[in-house]
Structures are given as C-alpha cells and as structure tokens.
Structure 1
Amino acid sequence: MLTVDFDRFPVPGKALVLDLGCGAGRHSFEALRRGARVIALDYSADEVAGVNAMFGAMAAEDQVPPGGQAGAVRGDALSLPFADGTFDRIIAAEVLEHLPADAGAIAELARVLRPGGLAAVTVPARFPERICWALSDDYHNVEGGHVRIYRQDDLVAKLRAGGLDLIGQHRAHALHAPYWWLRCLVGVHDDNHRATKLYHRLLVWDMMRQPAITRRTEQLLNPVLGKSLVLYLRKPRLQPPARTSDRSAGDHLTVGGPRAGE
C-alpha cells in the first residue's frame, strides 16, 4: 500500500532515492521497480534486514530494471551519513510523528537533498488522528509511538523553515481511518477481534483487486477522512556549496547491478 503517489512524485530511472525511515520498504520497492538507485534507511535493524532480503528477492525474480540498484542501511534520521545534496528524491513516509526532534530530522532531510530535488513527506492527518488518540491511549502511548498530532500549516511551516518549498499536497487512505478507529475501540493490540479481522479482510481485498467502486469512494472521502496527509516539496536550486563526506551514497548500493563508480 503506497501513500506517496508516484504520478505526482516522478522518480526517473537511475535517480538516487533515499527512503528515510523506510519501515518494511513499500516505497523503496516501488522506486526500485522504476529503475531508481535506492537507499532504504531505518533505525530498526530488523526492518533493514527484511528490506535487504526483499531487495535480493526482487533481483532474483528479475523485477529490477537495468540501472536499478538498492541497499538498506541502519541509521539515525537526526544524523544522516551522507554528504550535502546527495539525493535526487527523498521519501519520509509516516516518520516525523515518531520523532521528538522533528525539526532536526527535517534539517537533515533538506541537507542531503540536492538543490532542485524533490521530497515527499507524509504524516497522519489531524482529524482521523485526533479520534484515534481520543479513543485509545494505547494507540500512541507506546515505545516508538506517535509523539504529536500535526496541524497541516504547522508542518508546512517547519518544512519551509528547513529550506523546502511546498509544491503539492493531498490526503490518502480514507478507508483506513475507520479501521483504526475500530481497532482503538475494541483494543488496538487485539488482532483477533472479529470486527477488525473482517474490516482488515476488506482492506486486503481492496488493495489486491482495486475495484472501481472502492477506488472512487476513497477518492471522494480522502479530502475529509484521508488517514495520511501527503506533502510534496522542492529544495530551491540556489544553495551554499556542499560539504564533503567520508562516505558516498554509492557505498550502500548493492542490488541490481554494480556499485556506483564501478
């Protein structure tokens, strides 16, 4: 399930892409399928191992176009191991709401994005998220959970202060908002409740089949009920000279072809 719309966020072949806080890697895999050179970064060693395994499986199944490369690495969003202006595209999907020092992560994201490069940043939308918080403390009061609910204008202001210009926005996943409200009602950690299992089955069916009726329904509901706020941003082209770094992004690329520079 993709939150970023790749029609609105074009990733050309051989573009160097950072998936910041990649989680299970859904956006990394899509960028790799488009022939990009992808670095998936996450703080969780388990997530990094799983994403690297999937990268290998994609290469084995010939799902990586010529020029596509990928690697997953463990790292900290507040101290990225890349030089200034390294990446053509950066995706940060459902990451900032987990970070107490979100301004520091935004500054790092903007630092490693090249002048003229594009970023896609997604966070839980305010209205659906407030309902989840009201229904269940367990939804967010967990280790690594959500530490804030964003107002759109506040988030845009932080991104602009970090050096990024807003160029587009939309909401996504309206059908998922009631699912999480239901989970908060019956017990957010209860995976066996009949109601949530039935709703989850509906969501899986929708993702696999993508029938016109649910696609159209979600499009109509997204502006109000969309679970995720998606922002598209550009780094202005006029920037100070880049700093140097001991490591290049190519050091992390291992799947789908030779490393950069070889």
Structure 2
Amino acid sequence: MGCGAGRHAFEMYRRGADVIAFDQDADELSGVRDLFTAMKEAGEVPAGAEADVKEGDALSLPFADGEFDRIVCAEVLEHIWADVDAIKEMVRVLRPGGTLAVSVPRWLPEVINWKLSADYHNAPGGHIRIYTDHELIDKITKAGRPNDGTDGDAMIFTGKSYAHGLHAPYWWIKCAVGVENNDHPLARGYQKLLEWQIMKNPLSLRVADKVLDPVIGKSMVLYFTKPDAA
C-alpha cells in the first residue's frame, strides 16, 4: 500500500508472492509494471507468481473485504492526514488471520531531522507527523473495532523492529547542510556509501547496520495479525 517505485513489491514478487502494487501515482506505477514484466521475462520469479499494479486512494481502497493475506505499508502513513482512515481500510481488506507490516520514520531520528531543517518536512507531500511506537500501535490495534461502540476484535500487535541504521546520519547531514544541497561534500560522500551498500552490501556495512538499527535505525517497523474468528 503506497508502493512508490516498487522496492518491496519487487522483493515479494521475487519470493513467489502474487502481488498487487498499489499507489496513487500513475507514473510510478507505470515503471513498476514495466519492471514486473522484465523480471518475469528474465526468469527472476518462481513459476506461478503473478504481479500487477492498481491506482487509487488509500482512504478508499478499491478491493473487497478480506482480499489480501498480507499487506506491507512502508513509509506511507506519515504523509497522510487521515491516517486512521487509511489504517481502517488496510484492516478491512486484510483477511482474518492475515498479517500487516507497517514502517514509519522512528521518533528520535525524525525529531532531529525536524529540528535541523524545516524544509525536510514542509515540502509538498512531506511528513506531517512524527509517530511514537505507542501512538501507532494504539491506532492500528483499535482499527478493527466497529465505530458503533459494539464489541469487535482488535488487531493483534505481534512485534517491532528497526531498520536503516546507516540512513539516519545521512539525513542528519542533509538537514544540517541543506536538504537540496546535494553537492555538499559530506552529503555526496555519504550518499556514495549508501549506494555501495545497496549495490554490493559488503559485510562491513551489514555489520554496521546490525549494530546501528536498534540504536538509531531511521525506520520503525511494526507487525500485526488480524484475529481469525474461526
């Protein structure tokens, strides 16, 4: 949900899932569809796996109740004013017993970014809130309950992790020297480090990520299960 350029969708497809990449940006979705096709033609996906794209609004998902086994929503909710409505829609289209993974910017690294630069979050379509883990867990666990006050099963919180430990210092540098100042030596040098990580993922950077993720990981990842009435 909110697939953007498709990073998570591609990985799920590569692992053999039947994937729907959903977003409101038609141009992004066009690129995602093209890469889905290229992956299949190159034999990068298991036989039988299918993938497609769907354009729409996160506040009114064009899917039936309980249509999906799993939903990934990565770095999306911090952009949406009516985040509770978007969460309720995800819960609606998730089947009983299905799983939901949601990532958002982690509180401390994000607070530092906001303190260092107003431009970081004031850009069109930028971040409009900073979540604590307690706030987001509360919003998601309550999302499955009816609005009429009657009893209903809440989503079950099953775990939390952190990711992108090497990314937090990069954004602190960017916010300190100017978010759009891509030619600053510090920003440019650190960007090359992250590109090296993405392309080669050497052992040294894997170890660095493992050490830094719990301490300053830029993203917080929360996991939930929808109760199975059966």
With the shorter chain as reference, the TM-score category is over 0.9
Alpha-carbon distance in structure 2 between the residues aligned to 1:207 and 1:134: 28
Counterpart selection for 1:230 from 196, 221, 229: 221
How far apart are residue 207 of structure 1 and its match? 2.3
Indicate which of 106, 117, 132 corresponds to 1:125: 106
> Which of the residues 16, 31, 36 maps onto 1:55?
36
TM-score, scaled relative to structure 2 = 0.93
Distance in 2 of aligned mates of 1:214 and 1:45 = 35
- State the distance in 2 between where 1:58 and 1:64 align: 7
| Distance in 2 of aligned mates of 1:118 and 1:37 | 15
Letter in 2 for 1:178: P
Mapping for residues 100-111 of structure 1, pairs under 5 Å: 100-111=81-92
Aligned length: 220
1:152-183: CA deviation from partner (whole Å, max 9, x where unpaired) = 10100000011321111100011100000101
Distance in 2 of aligned mates of 1:32 and 1:141: 34
Extract structure 1 runs of 4+ deviating beyond 3 A: none
Pairing of 1:65-104 with structure 2 (within 5 A): 65-104=46-85
Unaligned stretches of 5+ in structure 1? 1-19, 240-262
Aligned residue identity for 1:89: R
Structure 2 residue 27 is matched with structure 1 residue 36? no
Q: Which has the higher helix share?
A: 2
Q: Cα distance, 1:232 vs. partner?
A: 1.0
State the Cα distance separating 1:211 from its structure 2 match: 2.1
Between stretches 215-224 and 29-38, larger displacement belongs to 215-224
Paired residue for 2:172?
A: 181
Counterpart amino acid of residue 139 in structure 1: Y
Listed one character per residue, the Cα deviations across residues 215-237 of structure 1 (whole Å, up to 9, x for unaligned) are: 12221221120000001110000
Q: Partners of 1:46 and 1:186 in 2: how far apart? A: 31
Matched residue type, 1:230:
V
What's the C-alpha RMSD, in Å, of the aligned pairs?
1.1
Unaligned runs of at least 5 residues, structure 2: 145-154
Q: Distance in 1 between matches of 2:183 and 2:25?
A: 26
Q: Which moved more, 1:25-34 or 1:192-201?
A: 192-201
- CA distance in 2 between counterparts of 1:231 and 1:33 reads 23
Look up the match of 1:246: none
Distance, in Å, in 1 between the alignment partners of 2:46 and 2:202 is 28
Q: 1:148 matched to which residue of 2?
A: 129
Q: Within 2, Cα distance between the matches of 1:212 and 1:160?
A: 37
Structure 1 CA distance for aligned equivalents of residues 4 and 186 of structure 2: 27
1:60, distance to aligned residue in structure 2 (A) = 1.7
2:7 corresponds to: 26
Q: More displaced, 139-148 or 230-239?
A: 230-239
- Mapped partners of 2:28, 2:2: distance in 1: 10
